[in-house]
């Protein structure tokens, strides 16, 4: 996991997530509490898919080096498999999971950047799942439940150090300083009126006296009641 403001290696290079933070975070948002790529185990499935193509391509190249047909076919298979792996590795490198004091963001894409976000105040529940392989390699899955329609960030897989991230995100959501203040854009809520204050800024200091209802057929004249029989 990359911490806020930490350099990406020697030489004072800025981490990739900080560039996304400069572009997509609001000016009044605090630095990210969580900023990380997904676990490298996400590349195991693409490698497994590309491995047979790599084997076939190498076999065609070595089968008959003087045969242009088989050599060309083997070269095309190898280039296709390597291109697939490079694309998946690039997507893994460019995808960042960022959590601030206001929002959850997931930035994706190499050429076209896409940002999916979910306000913290809309999250009603957080589920943390860790499979047996995830326990061995050190990754887990977050599932967010929120009020309203299905969100783009309902599930995020292959999060590294998921147990630590779970505690950090849970503290943001349900801790004493959780996501109870501010709107979805991060603006602070208006201060609550003091007790006893009425809408519009008026403060009632004493109750309004109740008006006694008069019996039907009775009217008040010069401080006394006059009934129909007194007319």
* CATH code: domain of residue 161: 2.30.29
In a domain, 95, yes or no: yes
Instruction: Say if residues 134 and 125 touch (Cβ distance below 8 Å).
Output: no
In a domain, 67, yes or no: yes
Tell me what pLDDT residue 8 has.
Answer: 46
Tokens of 139: 């990754």
In a domain, 225, yes or no: no
In a domain, 92, yes or no: yes
In a domain, 65, yes or no: yes
Tell me what pLDDT residue 18 has.
Answer: 77
Q: Which residues of the chain have pLDDT under 50?
A: 1-10, 180-182, 184-186, 221-223, 231
Tell me what pLDDT residue 111 has.
Answer: 87
As for how many domains the chain has, the answer is 1
In a domain, 208, yes or no: no
Instruction: Say if residues 59 and 74 touch (Cβ distance below 8 Å).
Output: yes
Taking the C-alpha atoms of residue 118 and residue 164, their distance in angstroms, rounded to an integer, is 20
In a domain, 193, yes or no: no
In a domain, 209, yes or no: no
Tell me what pLDDT residue 146 has.
Answer: 82
Containing domain of residue 129, as a range?
A: 10-174
Tokens of 83: 């291109």
Tell me what pLDDT residue 47 has.
Answer: 96
């Amino acid at each position: 996991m990359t911490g806020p403001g930490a350099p990406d290696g020697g030489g004072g290079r800025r981490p990739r997530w900080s560039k996304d933070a400069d572009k997509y975070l609001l000016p009044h948002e605090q630095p990210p509490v969580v900023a990380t790529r997904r676990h490298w185990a996400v590349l195991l499935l693409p490698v497994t898919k590309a491995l047979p193509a790599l084997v076939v391509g190498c076999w065609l190249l070595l089968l008959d080096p003087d045969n242009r047909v088989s050599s060309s076919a083997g070269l095309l298979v190898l280039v296709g498999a390597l291109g697939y792996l490079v694309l998946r590795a690039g997507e893994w490198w460019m995808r960042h999971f960022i959590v601030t004091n206001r929002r959850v963001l997931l930035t994706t894409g190499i050429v076209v950047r896409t940002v999916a976000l979910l306000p913290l105040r809309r999250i009603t529940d957080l589920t943390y799942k860790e499979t047996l392989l995830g326990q061995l390699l050190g990754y887990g899955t977050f599932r967010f439940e929120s009020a309203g329609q299905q969100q783009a960030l309902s599930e995020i897989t292959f999060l590294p150090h998921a147990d630590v991230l779970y505690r950090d995100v849970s503290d943001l959501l349900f801790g004493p300083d959780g996501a109870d203040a501010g709107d979805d854009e991060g603006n602070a809520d208006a201060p609550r009126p003091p007790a006893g204050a009425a809408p519009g800024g008026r403060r009632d200091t004493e109750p309004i006296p109740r008006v006694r209802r008069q019996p039907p057929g009775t009217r008040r004249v010069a401080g006394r009641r006059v009934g129909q029989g007194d007319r």
